[in-house]
Structure 1
Amino acid sequence: MEIQRNISEFILLGLSDDKKVQIFCFVLILLCFVALLVGNFLILISILCSPLFHQPMYYFLSQLSFLVICYTSSVTPKLIGGLLEGTQTISYGYCMVQVFTMHFFGSSEIFIITTMAIDRYVAICKPLHYMIIMNRTKCNFLILAAWAAGIAHSFPQLFMIMQLPFCGPNEIDHYFCDIFPLLKIACTDTYMIGILVVISSGVIILLIFVILFLSYIIILYTLRNLSVEGRCKALSTCVSHISVVVLFLVPAILSYLRPPTSFPEDKVVALFYTILAPMFNPFIYTLRNTEMKNAMRKVWCQMLFSKET
């Protein structure tokens, strides 16, 4: 059956109609995006150019930084351009690309965060077997599994949206093409598709959050058997991971685990998991991590001095 689709582009209503608010959002989001790119590129290059790359924890962290860059870049440049130009039009094809990339990179990021929790669990609860369990082959398998899970999640989301007819209003009450705002303007009954989205996105994110929460309870309980120095080091790493999990997953749960419709507050909540939380990742993982700070200092000092000579 041929899908009715008279709309070739959508209009993103963005964050606000007020010009002053738009200017404020433009400056704020641009600064956040630059900080996000600089911070995550620093982490990525520092790990790739140092011995930390051979440690599972930092190997996963380099993957996380790469995914964060891709994930945020699928939305933020379009948002910044729209705030600067005052127009928020987006073609149908680009809109579908945003739906796919947001869910692909976002879900892959969640699964990489989960693998990092697995790594910390093995390191603290099974320290004598750590290098055997978390060898490079298994680390590569976990990363491939995270990417495969991202593909398995994102393609059904894209397929459901591409089957919808869009023949009426083309205004999306959001700053990027998200599923619930698109369901709202489709020319058909989308209730069942909305329920499927809640199950495939919201429920899965909630289950992952609960699993991560329980794993960290076990990890924190195990810390009592470590020495004071080992306990402080492990606790510092766990606090960093827990902070990233809460900042990223809680807003995502609020966005997808609720009735399948769109609300004005969705745009504010989405800012947390698309821009603000990813921006804080470099600070969370480096400020309290001596190994990471030393590696960054060594790598970048070598680069600067080698250019001068």
Structure 2
Amino acid sequence: MNAAFDVLIIGGGPIGIACGLAAKRAGLSYIIIEKGCLVNSLYNYPLYMTFFSTSERLEVGGIPFVSINPKPSRPEALEYYRRVTTSEALNINLFEEVREIAPHGQEYFITTTKTAYHARHVIIATGFYDIPNLLDVPGESLPKVTHYYKDPHYYATRKVVVVGAHNSAVDAALETYRKGAQVTMVIREGEIGKRVKYWVKPDIENRIREGSIKAYFHSTIKSIEEQTVTINTPDGEVTFANDFVIAMTGYQPDFALLKNAGIQLSDDAKKLPVYNPLTMETNMPHIYLAGVVCGGMDTHIWFIENSREHADKIIQSIKI
């Protein structure tokens, strides 16, 4: 059994780090528990990803983020959050997953894959990147299918299907195409997503228009086979040869962790967790939410840049 803490923070991403900084500066005892590596979700982003936000909008704790370009890259962000963590000597345990949050008198008893903790307050800042939204079609479990895209070189010269029309899908389509892949996009909507980065959107639209990248709009995957893919289109079923499927269908928060902790979720498809927007406290006393997890299935509401303030709100509420 580890020592008791004033605050236990679940999630070692940018917002979890921001919460740790705020707790430390407030003189509270705290620990951050992260089930993967430091800023695990950012680590799993595509190798060559560029952020939509400028570097100052990604800063936490008022610590400057100096970037070579106006919009920082994934390696720059990883380096920034690593330096923040190490220079501030934040108390963080990596590769340790929280399994249960249970009330224990005036505290909470938190069980992990390695040990257990007592804490007076719990902050859940787990993001949404660990659980993909599945296609729920035959063949989705084949090794050729992935819900995480990392490096375009792996797909050089192969026949690749990219599912989706937003930033992750567009990046995967363009990058694999430029490494020599034969790319086909399968898009449920009738156009490329409106939230696609403004400097990328004309590129993908032009590649589709000229036929360099094939796109089926108003279409969905019906089944995935070892060497083919079958899709539903407005003109009927189409089957074509395929080596890999990159399903950029989005992700969702760990709702099981929230529900098991007693946090209420809305009954609609958005599964919005209940919390006080002034303090970020949930219906469970002394359990708080921070970051993207606050949006439930609507994962485009919160970003690093507009949820950094959650840390100060929470710590201010705890100190009262």
Give the TM interval when normalised to the shorter protein: 0.3 to 0.5
User: What's the TM-score once normalised by structure 2's chain length?
Assistant: 0.32
Higher RCO (CA 8 Å, separation ≥ 6 residues): 1
Which has the larger helix fraction?
1
Which has the larger strand fraction?
2
